[in-house]
Amino acid sequence: MYARISGVLFPVATVLLVGALIWGYQENQEKNSILIKAENQYQRTFHDLSYHVDRLHGELGNTLAVASTSNSMHRKGLMNVWRITSEAQNEINQLPLTLLHFNKTEDFLSRISRFSYQTANRDLTKNPLTSKEMSNLKALYKNSNEISSEIQKVQNKVIDKHLRWMDVETALASEQKAQDNTIVDGFKTVDKRVGEYPELDWGPSVLSIYNKRSVKKLEGPSTTIEQVKQKAASFSETNHAATIKVIENGKGTEWASFTASMPGKRSGESLSMDFTRNGGHLLSYNDNRQLGKATLSDQEAHEKAKQFLKSKGYGDMETVVYDKLGNIANLTFVSKKGDVYIYPEKLSARVALDNGQIIGLQTSDYVYEHQNDNKVTTPKLTLAQAQKFLNSDLKVTYHRTALIENDQGEKVMTYEFGGRINGSQYRIFLNADNGQEEAVEEIRDGRKETTLK
């Protein structure tokens, strides 16, 4: 009997064993194939990075080589510098360097990119390169040569020793402090070298981009944890302040803030709010609850958001963007002074379309900008004069005056025109003093202009 059973089971077990071996072999082959593709991608990206950093050095040299009055060549050279730097930044982001503190080099490339872009985009015939900017280019030329040389050293070692980028991921993810990896050590050397460069005077337009906001710049006394609990209870309109938990973020730094959290009305739901340390200003509000089927119209959602902001003391705010995604409406509001829309002072609200409840609020831009003196000036151009600078094919649907922040980080008065052209909807901001385009934004499907009132 047993012989008969074993005679049946043995072939079955053999087939299963062979099948498992084949399956394991195929899985291993697929895994190896994926690893090889990832390694090839890393290698190609790294060699492209080395090439572009070398080209950056060469393009800076070309820009410096032409005559000081050759504005067209300066513009061409700086645009090439911006393009090449952008490529290098993209390649760094594709390499497994997330856990490696390579921030000094990334910041350095970012500033070169911003400097070259902003300088090339101004009218160099009227505002040619200054002596300070030429001095900056010379320093960048020297520094880029050193960075290129260091990266080429790493590249030569990678080629000579057949080093693998997949080992970099292992080295960076390892908790062992003493990790010997030539590529990691090479990039650390590059970043250390960059950190030792003297700080350049990039000018106010570039520095404004990197001028990090901190709570120290906000007005108001320092807020205590107990005061945050009371603010959170008041904003959420709850009588159970005792259930609110508050933690301090960034204690001892200039970015210190508080996060308040509490249970929601139903099991598994919760609310959270972030407040600044100075002044106790609300930065964000989130109500994490289950949403039902959408029943509200766009106009009803808009009214709910406006009523909520008014009840919370946000003054005269106007809607500039309406996005609808499923059963949630996202509305962006800006401050208004007279007839002028103040775009830097913006905030966004999320409305649940099942009952009109506000389930999200993001106010950081409003908080930091509302304390600034965003001056409104009288435009030098009339509306009719400004409209002549528009594309004649643009079918204008609305217009208004607006204060915006341009690519140079400058606050400028503009005329905002909304309209359609080439089958798409746009909003175009023209400088109210000279008619120059300061910004162009496409209004994509699913978004609305400010036709909601």
pLDDT for 416 equals: 95
The residue whose two tokens read 């705010």 is: 317
What is the C-alpha end-to-end distance of the chain, expressed in Å? 88
Query: Pairing between strand 358-362 and 328-337?
Result: unpaired
Of 15-29, 177-191, 388-402, the poorest mean pLDDT is in 15-29
Cβ(328)–Cβ(351) under 8 Å? yes
What radius of gyration do the chain's Cα atoms show? 29
Q: Sign of the CA dihedral 162, 163, 165, 170?
A: positive
- The three-class DSSP label of residue 43 is helix
Whether pLDDT at 35 is above 70: no
Q: Which neighbouring-strand residues pair with 288?
A: 270
DSSP state of 129: P
- Rounded CA gap, 2 and 155, in Å? 66
DSSP count for the chain of H helices, then E strands: 11, 13
Cβ(302)–Cβ(316) under 8 Å? no
pLDDT for 31 equals: 59
DSSP state of 437: E
The predicted-structure confidence for 383-408, as pLDDT tens digits, reads as follows 999 999 999 999 999 999 999 988 77
pLDDT for 177 equals: 44
- The three-class DSSP label of residue 296 is coil
As a whole number, the mean pLDDT across the chain is 81
pLDDT for 208 equals: 54
What contacts 372, CB < 8 A, 6 or more positions away? 344
pLDDT for 360 equals: 93
For residue 171, the tally of other CB atoms under 10 A from its CB is 19
Higher confidence at residue 16 or residue 77? Answer: 77
Angle at 359 between CA 358 and CA 363, to 5 degrees: 80
How much is the average pLDDT of 169-192? 66
Between helices 103-120 and 182-195, what is the axis angle to 10°? 50
- Rounded CA gap, 204 and 198, in Å? 17
Q: Which neighbouring-strand residues pair with 430?
A: 415, 437
Whether pLDDT at 178 is above 50: no
Cβ(255)–Cβ(214) under 8 Å? yes
For residue 378, the tally of other CB atoms under 10 A from its CB is 8
Chain-centroid distance of CA 53 in Å reads: 24
pLDDT for 288 equals: 87
Query: Against a cut of 0.85, is the pTM above it?
Result: no
- Percent of the chain surpassing pLDDT 70: 80
Structural domain boundaries of the chain? 12-210, 217-370, 383-448
- Rounded CA gap, 418 and 397, in Å? 6
Which pLDDT band, with edges at 50, 70 and 90, does 213 fall under? Answer: low
Give phi and psi for 404, each to the nearest 5: -130, 170
- Rounded CA gap, 257 and 249, in Å? 5
Whether pLDDT at 434 is above 70: yes
Which pLDDT band, with edges at 50, 70 and 90, does 331 fall under? Answer: very high
Which pLDDT band, with edges at 50, 70 and 90, does 205 fall under? Answer: low
Compute the residue count for the chain.
453
- Rounded CA gap, 201 and 236, in Å? 46
